[in-house]
Chains A and B, each alone.
Chain A
Amino acid sequence: MSIVVDNIAKKYGRVLVMREISFKLAQSEFLVVIGPSGSGKTTLLRLIAGLEYPDEGEIFINDRKVSSPGYAFPPHKRNLGFVFQTSALWPHMTVEQNIKFGLKGLSKKESNFRVQELMEIISINHLQGRYPDEISGGEARRVALARSLAPKPHCLLMDEPLSNLDAELKDNLLEFIINTLKDSGTSLIYVTHDLKEGEQVSSRKLLLQNNSRQSGVPFP
């Protein structure tokens, strides 16, 4: 999957969050987005996912225009995965139901197999029947990761997915994420404010600064 972000700008009310953001992400490529708080990192992911309209510019996925001012191709048809800053697990569903939610076009047997497979890989099979309020913060992060990987997205958007985790767990999970995505040829846009963590993910970086344009990555 290729993603092209072309000259995007976004305002919240009168506050300009970002402007003139452009980059291209090729299939299987990893990109790290780094910047201080309020520089629009999360907003950039939300725009790519189709959860918000850009005020200026366009976004293309596989050469198809998916976002422009006032237009957004439905998020669920973009074939993206999204791991949010908070785990955002649905509290009324068990861990298994959370992971199964995004699966499409599979038989019940295939769905169960996919869920079991993921839970084993991520070492959360003991959480299967539990509800989100019965698991720890670290476990919730892993469930959120499994949920986003379950439908085999072509590109994964991750918004500071490992913040507030202890160092050892963080390193293990990061290694797992990188290996899994590399094996499956999935692209990744990884938002963080931690330079060291960013280095581990990819050498290709997009640096966002408050209320201004990007630096660090040539277009395309």
Chain B
Amino acid sequence: MRTYLSMDKINNGAWLLIYLIFIISPVFFLMVETLNQLFSGNAEWLSLTLPTGRRLQLLARSTGLASLVALGGGLLGLLAGNFLSNWRPRVGSYLKYMILVLAVVPPYIHALSWASAFRFWNDFAGSTFLPELPMYGLFISWWVQFMALAPFGVGMALLGYELVDKSLVDAGRVMKSDFKVFKKVVLPAAAPAIAAGSAFMFLISLMDYSVPSLFQVSTYSLEIFAEYSASYEPVRAFLLAFPLMILMILAASVFQAAFRNMAMSPKQPRDVKPVPLSFPPWFLALQTLAIVLIAFQVMVPVISLVFVTGSFHNLVTPIMSSLREISSTLIVASGAALFSLFLVAAPASHVSGGGKLNYIWWPVLILPLTIPAPLIGIGLIHLWNHDLLVHFYRTLLMPVLAGAVRFVPFGALIMLARFKRVDTLLLNAASVLQKNNLHTFLSVKLPMFGKDFLAVAGLIFVLTAGELAATLLVVPSGQSTLTIKIYNYMHYGESASVAGLSLLILAISLTMGIAIVRLLARERQRS
């Protein structure tokens, strides 16, 4: 049945068009430009799509790293997600969703804090028989990405477990042991969500070059950036990214299929408190280990950054010398968040309506999620760097667009999940009884979805504030964001300044993250 989530078809169509123009056009431009170059004498560039030698090694390394990150996230989600879904704290039932808070903290902050923690451990281990941990290389890169992205894996798994139809579990419990019911009923039902979380971690890990490069690991994603810096040819970078995009499309397909199934799961009945499932001791031990890991994941960034900053002076001085970057960051992040408020609803509403063209809209909706971040920056440069648009091009609008292109599709997916779980009869009833569209919008839709939009805007705010790969390419000369400044400092090794600024980003991210989680958790309890 078609839902009435958009104001009307024309309105929705207009917003979809704006979505295509601003969010999809950089990717579309790269595709068209590539075809143009290939048919105008540069067909030999096609060989870039088949990496050999060093590039093949880089691709294998990046894929291996991303697979291990996804595997770790899937396992952690399977264990910790189940524990959290059964956890019923007496006060503040939204507390279990706090695991999601650190999802908004940029990966480089995890990198900095875990590097400090590893250094601290090595200082301690040096005076004992305990083994030291590597400060560079694949292990620390994997560990940091695993920790940085774990909230996505655990969060999706938690959502999956919470969406399992409890009557299916009850039906099994009267016949078989709880653990057997977990294996045969709960796990297969939650599996799509766990797979979606893992696939999302795979996607992000494959795209990210900031963390591996900090630990002196070259990745395929960095190679794309290097190719563009050397040739200034967007098409060469696009063709080089082709194998990566194939992998990303595969991961995105898993994510998409799983996410769609999950979003269509039935709504839960009233919040009864059933007798908790009982598990064998070995499984409880593994769950405890997973929870300890999550505790580390939350505490290490906070503690190690405070420790490295050392003094109030070290916190204030870099902040005072970065006021310009702070204001730029706030403008860019707010701009992307504002953009998202207008753009996330239309595609989500359209897809949730289940129209005939859904098989086209789904890939379009998630297309920017499958494109390496540097390519989005490259696409934006070549699309907007024209005489006509030069006044826009030399402004902070570009990093705003970079954040929007990268993260608005993610926001649209969240809104889609929300729309899917709404009883469409409520909206049908409103459309029958309404005085006009505005009446329904103000009295029904805004109270129903207002907090979701705010939460999505908040999420896009913090993700954009921490964005590096695309922003680095499009930020106007003479301007910088806090993230770029921290990233530059990190290469110069100014640890106290970096830690001070990172603490600021962490504080902003955590405040926003807690607000988002509270909004979404309350919405979930209400729905």
Contacts and interface: CB of A to CB of B under 8 A. Distances in A.
A151 interface: yes
A46 B170 contact: yes
A102 interface: yes
Contacts of A72: 275
Interface string B255-281: 000000000000000101111001000
Contacts of B273: 52-53
Contacts of B126: none
A21 interface: no
B275 A53 contact: yes
A75 B185 contact: no
9 contacts: A12-B270, A51-B173, A51-B275, A52-B275, A82-B174, A84-B170, A88-B168, A101-B172, A101-B176
Interface string B188-211: 110000000000000000000000
Interface in A38-84: 46, 49-53, 72, 74-76, 78, 80-82, 84
Nearest to A17: B272
Interface string A79-122: 01110111011111000000001100000000000000000000
B167 interface: yes
A80 to B, nearest CB: 6
B2 interface: no
B386 interface: no
Contact of A78 (B167, B174, B185, B188): B174
A9 B168 CA distance: 25
Interface string B158-175: 000000010110111111
Contacts, number: 71
B460 to A, nearest CB: 35
A49 B185 CA distance: 18
Given A50-B275, A102-B176, A82 B170 contact: yes
Interface in A118-151: 144, 147, 151
Contacts of B178: 74, 76
B9 interface: no
A101 B165 CA distance: 18
B177 interface: yes
Interface of A: 12, 46, 49-53, 72, 74-76, 78, 80-82, 84-86, 88-92, 101-102, 144, 147, 151
Given A72-B275, A74-B278, A101-B184, A51 B170 contact: yes
Given A75-B173, A76-B173, A88 B167 contact: yes
A116 to B, nearest CB: 19
Instruction: Classify the secondary structure of A's interface with B.
Output: loop
The 10 closest A-B pairs by CB, nearest first: A102-B175, A88-B171, A88-B167, A75-B173, A72-B275, A82-B174, A75-B174, A92-B188, A51-B170, A76-B176
B179 to A, nearest CB: 11
Nearest to B189: A92
Contacts of A88: 165, 167-168, 170-171
Interface hub of A51, A84, A147 (most chain B Cβ within 10 A): A51
A61 to B, nearest CB: 13
A53 B273 CA distance: 8
Contacts of A102: 174-176
B174 A76 contact: yes
Contacts of B175: 76, 101-102, 151
A82 B189 CA distance: 21
A88 B178 CA distance: 17
A147 B174 CA distance: 11
B174 A81 contact: yes
Given A12-B272, A52-B274, A101-B184, A86 B167 contact: yes
B128 to A, nearest CB: 46
Nearest to B266: A86
A92 B176 CA distance: 17
A80 B175 CA distance: 8
Residue from B168, B171, B274 having most chain A Cβ neighbours under 10 A: B171
Given A52-B273, A82-B174, 12 more contacts: A51-B170, A52-B274, A53-B275, A76-B178, A81-B174, A85-B167, A90-B168, A90-B184, A90-B185, A91-B189, A101-B184, A102-B174
Contacts of A90: 168, 171-172, 184-185, 188
Contact of A84 (B167, B176, B185, B274): B167
A88 B171 CA distance: 7
A24 to B, nearest CB: 21
Interface string B10-39: 000000000000000000000000000000
Nearest to B165: A88
A88 B275 CA distance: 19
Nearest to B188: A92
A84 B171 contact: yes
A144 B171 CA distance: 9
Contacts of A75: 173-174, 275
Contacts of A46: 170, 274
B266 to A, nearest CB: 9
A19 B278 CA distance: 28
Contact of A80 (B174, B188, B274, B278): B174
Nearest to B181: A76
A50 B278 CA distance: 13
Contacts of A52: 272-275
A72 B275 CA distance: 7
Nearest to B171: A88
Contacts of B167: 84-86, 88
Contacts of B177: 74, 76
A185 B178 CA distance: 28
Give the most central of B165, B173, B174, B278: most A CB within 10 Å: B174
A148 to B, nearest CB: 8
Contacts of B184: 90, 101
Contacts of B188: 90, 92
Interface string B138-169: 00000000000000000000000000010110
A140 B177 CA distance: 24
B75 to A, nearest CB: 21
Interface string B315-353: 000000000000000000000000000000000000000
Nearest to A12: B272
Contacts of A86: 167
Contacts of B274: 46, 51-52
A168 to B, nearest CB: 27
Q: Which of B165, B168, B188 has the most CB of A within 10 A?
A: B168
